[in-house]
Amino acid sequence: MTGEAVGRGSAWFIEAPCGAAVLRRYLRGGMMARISRDRYLFTGWRRSRPVAEFRVLERLAAAGLPVPAPLAAGVLRRGPLYTGGLITQRIPDAWPLADLLPERAHDDALWRRIGACVRRFHDAGLVHADLNARNILVDAADTVFLIDFDRARIRHGARRRFRRNLERLHRSLVKLWPPGVSANQRATSWVALECGYRDPVAP
């Protein structure tokens, strides 16, 4: 292990035979975590969360979308329950949008790129289960990536769900917005994001 991915649950940076990677364990949140933090009901290998996410990532990567390449999915069955994990390629020199907000809040070009990136995923039918400012990465070249596709689904034409994705992202930004940057600037940044979403440019 070479480090921990802060803010993304139980995830660690590791060195794999294929290079730098991220290992993420599947953990419960909320009330269910009081019953079991890391065990899930086993209903079949393909329905397990690691395998399901691996398959979604395969489809997104094959479509040329900016996602970490899936490397391995693991499921350990114990009777009717299982624990699991996923290994993906680590995106070099990339940081969560949440960490970049203090320096990049005024960067309308970045916000437009973020909006265009989200639109590309929606056009591919991807409904992200937790689109927030920590699941959007920006690398040194300002390329925008999405991560964490646990419980994500591909549903072409799911416009209401796509709109809910954007609403969830907006709530995340309101929560994480730096106190030194005005609410007016937040509104301006969101308008730029929506412009990029409505009129995405070619990657």
The residues annotated as belonging to the active site are 130
Q: Are strands 19-25 and 11-16 parallel, antiparallel or unpaired?
A: antiparallel
As a whole number of angstroms, the distance between CA 69 and CA 103 comes to 28
Q: Are strands 136-139 and 94-96 parallel, antiparallel or unpaired?
A: antiparallel
CB 197 within 8 A of CB 119: yes
Q: How far is the CA of 35 from the CAs of 50, 157, 181, in angstroms?
A: 20, 36, 40
| Cross-strand partners of 73 | 86
Cβ count near 79 (within 10 Å): 7
Per this entry, what is the length of the chain? Answer: 203
Looking up tokens 């809040």 gives 105
As a whole number of angstroms, the distance between CA 194 and CA 170 comes to 11
Q: What is the 3-state secondary structure (H, E, C) of 45-74?
A: CCCCHHHHHHHHHHHHHHCCCCCCCEEEEE
